[in-house]
Amino acid sequence: MAKPKTKLENKPQTVVAPAPKWNVVVLNDPINYQGYVVIAFVSVLRITSPEAKKLMRTIHQNGRTTVWTGERERAEMLALELQQWHLNALLEKDA
């Protein structure tokens, strides 16, 4: 049985670059208690208390950490909610 002939076409392909990701970064502050930060993270980021504690400790040790990475609109919403909790939250474009 003969193989069907395949014709290769050189069609130009459009490559869509993925949308850049954004980081929600929280900085250390001297006013809010560690327990307060844990409650804020559980409430805003919808994570468990142990996960929130891990993030809080990283901020305490390093001065800052990324608490969420993803698409811009969601990142903006989370940063705003964290600021409603009076945390030093800011947005950074992911490298």
Partner 1 sequence: MPELRLSMTAEARTVLTDLLKLIAPAAARVSVNRAQIPDNDLEIAGFWTENLSAHAAEEARLLAHAFIQAKGDPAVIILRDEAQACAFLRALSAVRFALRDLVFADISDDQLEDPSDLDDDESLPTEKRHALACYACFGQLQQSLIRQLDPEAFN
Judged by the rule CB under 8 A, the positions of this chain that interact with partner 1 are 30-36, 38-39, 42-43, 49, 53, 76, 79-80, 83-86, 88-91
* Complex with partner 1: residue 6 or 33, whichever CB lies closer: 33
Q: For residues 43 and 41, what is the distance between their CA atoms, to the nearest angstrom?
A: 5
CB of 6 to partner 1, least distance (A): 50
CA atoms within 13 A on the CB side of 34: 11
Is 27 in contact with 59 (CB distance < 8 Å)? yes
CB of 35 to partner 1, least distance (A): 3
Token readout for 95 is: 């490298």
* Complex with partner 1: residue 39 or 54, whichever CB lies closer: 39
CB of 73 to partner 1, least distance (A): 10
